[in-house]
Structure 1
Amino acid sequence: MKVSIIGAGRNRNGIGEYIGKYFQKNGATVTSVLGTTEKTSCNTSSALKQYGIDATPYTDFNKMVEKESPDTIVIASPYSTHYEYILKSIDAGLNIFCEKPFIWNEKGDMQELLDNLFEMAESKNLKIAMNSQWPFSIPYYEELCGSINIQGIDTFSIGLSPMFGGRDMILDSVPHALSFLYCTLGNGEILNLDFEHYEKKMIIKFDYNSNINTCKVLISLISKEHRPREFSFGFNGSIVNRSLDSETYDIYFNYANKSLKIIDPLDLSVQDFISAFREKREPLIGKSHIVSNMTLLKTIYDSCEIT
Structure 2
Amino acid sequence: MTSPSSQPTPDKSQAVGDGLRVAVIGARRTVMGTGGFLARQAHAAGAEIVAIVCSSYDSARAASEDLLANGMRPEVYAEEEDMLAEMNPDVVIIASPTNTHIDWIQQCLDSQAHVFCEKPLSTSGAKHCDDLIRAFSANELLINENCQWPFTLEAWQALHPRGNITTARKFSMLLSPKLRGEHRWQDILSHPLSLIQKISPGPAHVEKVAYAEHSSDSLDSALRFEYCTHSRALECEIILEDMGTLPPPAEYSIDGKLCHRIIGENYQMQFAAHANEPQKAVSVGDPMEQNLRQFLKRVNLITNSRASVAIDEDLIRRQYLVEALLADYQRR
Tell me the TM-score normalised to structure 1 length: 0.92
Q: Amino acid of the residue matched to residue 295 of structure 1? A: Y
1:114 aligns with 2:129: yes
What are the equivalent positions in structure 2 for 1:162-201 lying under 5 Å apart? 162-186=177-201, 187-198=203-214, 199-201=218-220
- Counterpart in 2 of 1:290? 315
**CA shift digits 1:54-91 (9 cap, x unpaired):** 12110146531233221011111111111111001100
Q: Which runs of structure 2 are paired with 1:79-90 in the superposition (5 Å)?
A: 79-90=98-109
User: 1:115, 1:241 → 2: CA distance?
Assistant: 33
**Deviation of residue 128 (structure 1)?**
1.1
Measure how far apart 1:305 and its partner are: 3.6
User: Secondary structure, in 3 states, of the residue corresponding to 2:82?
Assistant: helix
Number of the residue aligned with 2:271? 253
Q: Is the CA contact (8 Å cut-off) linking 1:169 and 1:223 kept in structure 2? A: no
| 4+ long deviations beyond 4 Å | 281-284
For 1:176 and 1:282, locate their aligned partners in 2 and report how far apart those are by CA, in whole Å: 27
Question: 1:174 deviation in Å?
Answer: 1.4
2:235 alignment counterpart: 216
Q: Within 1, Cα distance between the matches of 2:207 and 2:70?
A: 45
* Cα pair 1:3 1:32 within 8 Å, conserved: yes
Give structure 2 stretches of 5+ with no counterpart.
1-19
Mapped contact 2:101–2:122 kept (Cα < 8 A): yes
The separation in 2 between residues aligned to 1:283 and 1:163, in whole angstroms, is 36
User: Do the aligned partners of 1:276 and 1:283 also contact (CA within 8 Å) in 2?
Assistant: no
Are residues 28 and 46 of structure 1, via their aligned partners in 2, closer, same or farther at CA, if it must alter by over 3 Å?
Answer: same
| 1:126 aligned residue (133, 136, 141) | 141
In the TM superposition, what is the alpha-carbon distance from 1:147 to its structure 2 partner?
A: 5.2
1:274 to 277, 287, 296: 296
Amino acid at match of 1:267: E
Q: Secondary structure at the match of 1:167?
A: helix
2-side partners of 1:55 and 1:147: how far apart?
A: 48
CA contact (8 A) 1:203 1:219 kept: yes
Once superposed, what is the RMSD of the aligned Cα atoms? 2.1
DSSP 3-state at the match of 2:181: coil
Query: 2: distance between equivalents of 1:61 and 1:122?
Result: 27
* Separation in 1, partners of 2:34, 2:92: 15
Instruction: State how far apart, in whole Å, the 1-side matches of 2:150 and 2:82 are.
Output: 36
SS at match of 1:164: coil
Are 1:76 and 2:108 an aligned pair? no
What percentage of residue pairs aligned between the two structures are identical? 22
Q: What are the superposed Cα offsets for residues 116-171 of structure 1, whole Å, 9 maximum, x if unpaired?
A: 21333233211111110110111111111125423311000000001211111112
* 1:166-187 Cα distance to aligned partner (Å, 9 max, x none): 1111122111100001122113
The aligned residue for residue 151 of structure 1 is 166
TM-score by length of 2: 0.85
Partners of 1:157 and 1:18 lie apart in 2 by 28
**Matched positions, count:** 301
- Of Structure 1 and Structure 2, which has the larger fraction of its residues in strand? 1
* Stretches of structure 1 lacking an aligned partner (at least 5 in a row): none
Mapped to 2, the partners of 1:176 and 1:287 lie a distance apart of: 16
Provide closer, same or farther for how the CA distance between residues 16 and 43 of structure 1 changes in structure 2, counting only shifts above 3 A.
same
Structure 1 Cα separation of the partners of residues 286 and 151 of structure 2: 9
More moved, 217-226 vs 85-94: 217-226
Separation in 2 of the partners of 1:67 and 1:225? 42
Question: What is residue 242 of structure 1 aligned with on the other side?
Answer: 261
Q: 1:184 to 1:279 in 2, by over 3 A?
A: farther
Does the Cα contact within 8 Å between 2:227 and 2:235 map onto a contact in 1? yes
